[in-house]
């Protein structure tokens, strides 16, 4: 949702959407570029933010179970990464299928693959199925309890693109979907969802609402123009105060998850560093500076990886 005043630029594979990022996708075979843009392959930050809660839960579950890092739990990190790329791409494709009429009315998005005619809705749906099947292949490597836990998320994932037409904080539904990985490490390694999993999930939901509010601010005018809702429009000039509340809740809930999982000083030190990064985001943010909003939003990858590194080290030392 990165806003840009510029119109679409043209490539040999058709126009590049104004909200697309110049990347390796522009050097890919021409026929593949519209599909890669549908999957947001030019913007990997979404895949990072989807996999990070998976990695948090894997590391915390590895510690809580007492097994530490094993060949299986390490392999699980890679499986979750592959699955996150596939399912994030599928989710973005589904979003563009549902939003094709809206996207076609806005200068910033009218050159996206579907409204520009580079990919038909039927072709996009076929691509969605291919990506979902790739995610399914990863899912089938997991225990039955984890498979059913993952499948329970599909309803939330399916309705998220519609929520901006219905509720003022669609970011909350995004948080419910994007944070599901906070359950998956526990569901896979422990075949259960202890209190630590639920607390980690709740903390991650608030984190997502916070960072996606930052991401939505450059689009406030576009969203108002087409009549869709967002937390950025709702919070407006009070955004900094709301971020304090959301990020404080994030830190408190994750701290409770650490306590419930029997975490030690390393995990708490990582949480402190994570919380400091979130505080830095709030202090730095200028909601009227689109480029800065995007930079602050993207910095959540680093915040999440800091916390994962601490959880991983905690699991390693016991």
* Residue matched to tokens 């900094």: 240
Answer for the pair 187, 146: CB distance below 8 angstroms, yes or no: yes
CA–centroid distance for 68 within its chain: 27
Q: Residue 17 has what pLDDT? A: 55
Residue 222 is predicted with a pLDDT of: 86
How far is Cα 43 from Cα 22, in angstroms, rounded to an integer? 9
pLDDT of residue 3: 36
Measure Cα distances from 309 to 151, 280, 283, 304 in Å: 28, 19, 24, 9
Which pLDDT does position 104 carry in this prediction? 78
Question: What pLDDT tens digit does each residue of the chain (318 aa) get?
Answer: 333 333 344 444 555 554 556 789 999 999 999 999 999 999 999 999 999 999 999 999 999 999 999 999 999 999 999 999 999 999 999 999 998 988 877 766 788 899 999 999 999 999 999 999 999 999 999 999 999 999 999 999 999 999 999 999 999 999 999 999 999 999 999 999 999 999 999 999 999 999 999 999 998 988 898 889 999 999 999 999 999 999 999 999 999 999 999 999 999 999 999 999 999 999 999 999 999 999 999 999 999 999 999 999 999 998
Measured at the CA of 186, the angle between CA 138 and CA 179, to 5 degrees, comes to: 75
Helices and strands, number each (H, E), in the chain: 16, 2
Provide the 3-class DSSP secondary structure of residue 308: helix
Residues 6+ positions from 8 with CB-CB distance below 8 Å: 15, 16, 17, 18, 110, 111, 116
Domain annotation for the chain: domains and CATH numbers:
31-317 (1.10.357.140)
Question: What confidence score (pLDDT) does residue 8 get?
Answer: 41
- pLDDT attached to residue 2: 38
* Residues 6 or more apart in contact with residue 130 via CB below 8 angstroms: none
**Spatial CA neighbour of 43 closest among 304, 301, 278, 305:** 301
Q: Which helix (H) or strand (E) holds 185?
A: helix 181-189
CA distance 273 to 304: 10
Q: What is the pLDDT of residue 4?
A: 35
């Amino acid at each position: 949702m990165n806003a840009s005043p510029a119109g679409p630029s043209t490539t040999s594979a058709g126009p590049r959407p104004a909200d697309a990022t110049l990347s390796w996708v522009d050097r890919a075979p021409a026929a593949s570029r519209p599909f890669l843009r549908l999957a947001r392959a030019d913007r990997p930050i979404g895949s990072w933010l989807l996999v990070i809660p998976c990695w948090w839960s894997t590391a915390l579950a590895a510690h809580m179970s007492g097994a530490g890092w094993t060949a299986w739990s390490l392999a699980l990190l890679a499986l979750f990464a592959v699955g996150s790329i596939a399912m994030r791409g599928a989710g973005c494709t589904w979003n563009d299928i549902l939003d094709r009429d809206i996207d076609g009315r806005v200068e910033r998005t009218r050159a996206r693959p579907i409204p520009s005619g580079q990919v038909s809705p039927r072709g996009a749906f076929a691509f969605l199925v291919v990506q979902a099947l790739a995610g399914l292949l990863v899912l089938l490597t997991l225990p039955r309890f984890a498979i059913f836990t993952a499948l329970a998320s599909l309803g939330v994932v399916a309705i998220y693109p519609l929520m901006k037409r219905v509720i003022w904080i669609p970011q909350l539904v995004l948080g419910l979907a994007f944070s599901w990985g906070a359950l998956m490490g526990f569901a896979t390694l422990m075949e259960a969802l202890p209190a630590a999993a639920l607390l980690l999930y709740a903390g991650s939901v608030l984190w997502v609402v916070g960072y996606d509010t930052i991401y939505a601010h450059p689009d406030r005018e576009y969203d108002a123009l087409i009549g869709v809702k967002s937390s950025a429009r709702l919070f407006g000039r009070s955004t900094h105060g709301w971020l304090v509340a959301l990020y404080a809740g994030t830190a408190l809930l994750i701290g409770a998850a650490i306590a419930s999982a029997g975490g030690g000083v390393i995990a708490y030190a990582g949480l402190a560093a994570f919380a400091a990064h979130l505080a830095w985001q709030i202090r730095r943010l200028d909601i009227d500076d689109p480029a800065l909003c995007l930079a602050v939003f993207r910095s959540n990858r680093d915040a999440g990886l800091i916390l994962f590194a601490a959880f991983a080290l905690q699991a390693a030392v016991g």
